[in-house]
């Protein structure tokens, strides 16, 4: 990797520059470009490889479902990143006992120290640190993505660095103003040691379309059941 995990070049909306590009082609290019860094970010946020992969699939399913909106977003990568991070950090996923511990034991010892230190942070601190020191967003961008004030985002990043310094001996020997750079280096090393094999974007699109159809039919069935129930009640009480 040439930069921190998840650092992506900023640019115009995905469809820009290719007026004749089909929605599917534009989506596939975005997937090829972003799936790997997003999976690595999600793994650092949740400590569970399969959950990280599900978070990315979930984000891309949502993106394809709302493609007209995402395609013209000023930062489609940021849209996907927010959806991925929110899914990976959802407290509902922590209700399955023991799963994270088993996956952590499979991580090499030298990487496990960093991952366990990250997972010891509050979720808001963890996300802010990954966005600022890992992805490379500025404090104002980090604040916007986490729906916090710039002051709160700065406090979370500094608090996360202090907590990690207490758990990672190498950081304690680093000058305070250089700890962000040192953490970015550690995150790059971690990412390099955990290769990601992205799926097929066409398969992902097809699965997303099937999921959307099932949701639509489920909604129709729910409405039909409610209407039938009301009609039966009216007949029986009339």
Cα separations in angstroms, 22 against 10, 25, 27, 72: 22, 5, 9, 13
Q: Where are the domains of the chain?
A: 23-199
- Predicted confidence band of residue 16 (pLDDT cuts 50, 70, 90): very low
Poorest-pLDDT segment among 15-19, 77-81, 165-169, 215-219:
15-19
- pLDDT for 154 equals 98
| DSSP labels, 193-226 | TS------HHHHHHHHHHHHHHHHHHHHHHHHHH
Does the pLDDT value for residue 7 go beyond 70?
no
Q: What are phi and psi of 5, to 5 degrees?
A: -60, 125
- pLDDT for 182 equals 95
Averaged pLDDT, 121-147: 97
**pLDDT-above-90 percentage for the chain:** 58
Does the pLDDT value for residue 98 go beyond 60?
no
- Please indicate whether residue 210 or residue 87 has the higher confidence score (pLDDT): 87
């Amino acid at each position: 990797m040439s930069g921190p995990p998840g650092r992506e070049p900023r640019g115009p909306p995905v469809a820009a520059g290719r007026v004749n590009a089909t929605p599917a082609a534009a989506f596939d290019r975005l997937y090829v470009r972003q799936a790997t860094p997003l999976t690595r970010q999600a793994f650092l946020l949740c400590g569970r490889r399969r959950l990280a992969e599900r978070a990315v699939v979930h984000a891309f399913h949502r993106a394809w479902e709302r493609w007209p909106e995402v395609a013209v977003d000023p930062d489609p990568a940021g849209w996907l990143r927010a959806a991925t991070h929110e899914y990976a950090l959802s407290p509902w996923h922590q209700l399955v006992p023991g799963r994270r511990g088993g996956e952590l034991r499979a991580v090499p010892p030298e990487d496990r120290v960093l991952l366990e230190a990250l997972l010891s942070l509050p979720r808001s601190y963890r996300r802010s640190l990954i966005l600022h020191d890992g992805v490379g967003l500025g404090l104002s961008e980090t604040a916007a993505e986490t729906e916090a004030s710039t002051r709160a985002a700065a406090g979370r990043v500094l608090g996360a660095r202090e907590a990690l310094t207490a758990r990672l001996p190498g950081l304690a020997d680093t000058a305070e103003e250089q700890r962000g750079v040192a953490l970015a280096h550690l995150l790059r090393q971690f990412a390099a040691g955990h290769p990601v094999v992205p799926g097929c974007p066409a398969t992902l699109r097809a699965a997303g379309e099937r999921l959307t159809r099932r949701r639509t039919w489920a909604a129709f069935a729910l409405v039909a059941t409610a209407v039938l129930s009301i009609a039966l009640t009216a007949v029986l009480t009339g």
